[in-house]
């Protein structure tokens, strides 16, 4: 779906799909003399605020970079804390999401997580599958380069089986082999805590996304910040490579 405008019908100033790189939990905790786990817990609360804000404002897709493929390189204790928080939210917050009309989807390599988390994640997807107010996509053990590579492998296998001719592979066909198949590309990508890079997040899908970088650490992100990034987006002119008229 690259190269097309997916803004919400009837409101061209509102992005249909917002994606967020949630950065700054550790720095937030350090500045307050708190353990790292306190920062991650506060970040979880920011997730809940952001989901509510997105649903309230009519955003249809919200993708959160919750755990990158590179996060497995962190200290074992921090990885255990992150997976423990993920387990808690999958077990105890999915019913609340469902009551709010939120559908949950997972992208990434779930096989690297403990079996119980894999099962909880798939159960959460099934329980919320019929909801349509907002689609919340959690990127877990996700990497943009790995996503592109696995899509290329799938295309190569399809060609070798005679299911498709190599000459028939275009951007649309290739996008259908990505983990985000069927999703609109993000209109707006936000990163918190002052870093100005994508860090291997939705590399193919972000080709025409508007980028906003905030100094605010993720645990402090709230509805006011969400409104700020929406206002910034509303002032951008999206031309998708065309010259201004």
Q: Quick one: CA torsion of 134, 146, 1, 55, rounded to 10 degrees?
A: 10
Q: Does the annotation place 28 within a ligand binding site?
A: yes
Q: Which of 11, 71, 185, 200 is labelled catalytic?
A: 71
Task: Name the DSSP class of 16.
Answer: S
Q: Which of 23, 147, 185, 187 is labelled catalytic?
A: 23
Q: Does the annotation place 210 within a ligand binding site?
A: yes
Q: Does the annotation place 11 within a ligand binding site?
A: no
Q: Is the dihedral of CA 6, 7, 12, 18 positive or negative?
A: negative
Q: Does the annotation place 57 within a ligand binding site?
A: no
Q: Does the annotation place 191 within a ligand binding site?
A: yes
Q: Does the annotation place 138 within a ligand binding site?
A: no
CA-wise closest residue to 102 among 61, 136, 77: 136
Q: Is 71 in the active site?
A: yes
CA-wise closest residue to 37 among 72, 75, 90, 91: 75
Distance (Å, rounded) from C-alpha 81 to C-alpha 106? 20
Given the structure tokens 């779930």, which residue do they identify? Answer: 110
Q: Does the annotation place 167 within a ligand binding site?
A: no
Q: Is 30 in the active site?
A: no
CA-wise closest residue to 65 among 104, 108, 21, 24: 21
Q: Does the annotation place 74 within a ligand binding site?
A: yes
Q: Does the annotation place 69 within a ligand binding site?
A: yes
Active site residues: 23, 71
Q: List the binding residues.
A: 23-28, 40, 68-70, 72, 74, 191, 197-199, 210
Q: List the binding residues for Mg(2+).
A: 23, 210
Q: List the binding residues for substrate.
A: 24-28, 40, 68-70, 72, 74, 191, 197-199
């Amino acid at each position: 779906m690259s190269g097309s405008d997916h803004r919400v019908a009837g409101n061209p100033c509102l992005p249909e799909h917002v994606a967020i790189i949630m950065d700054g939990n550790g720095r937030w905790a350090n500045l307050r003399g708190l353990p790292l786990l306190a920062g991650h817990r506060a970040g979880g609360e920011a997730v809940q605020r952001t989901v509510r804000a997105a649903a309230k404002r009519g955003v249809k897709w919200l993708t959160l970079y919750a755990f990158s493929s590179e996060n497995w390189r962190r200290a074992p204790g921090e990885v255990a804390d992150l997976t423990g928080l993920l387990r808690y939210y999958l077990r105890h917050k999915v019913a609340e999401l469902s009551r709010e009309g939120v559908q949950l989807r997972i992208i990434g390599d779930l096989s690297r997580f403990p079996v119980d988390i894999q099962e909880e994640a798939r159960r959460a997807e099934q329980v919320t599958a019929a909801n349509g107010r907002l689609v919340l996509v959690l990127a877990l053990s996700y990497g943009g380069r790995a996503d592109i590579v696995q899509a290329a492998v799938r295309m190569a296998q399809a060609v070798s089986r005679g299911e498709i001719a190599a000459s028939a592979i275009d951007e649309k066909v290739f996008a259908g082999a990505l983990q985000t198949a069927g999703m609109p590309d993000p209109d707006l990508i936000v990163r918190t805590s002052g870093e100005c890079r994508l860090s291997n997040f939705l590399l193919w899908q972000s080709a025409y996304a508007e980028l906003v970088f905030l100094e605010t650490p993720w645990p402090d992100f709230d509805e006011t910040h969400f409104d700020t990034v929406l206002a910034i987006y509303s002032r951008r002119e999206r031309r998708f490579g065309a010259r201004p008229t």
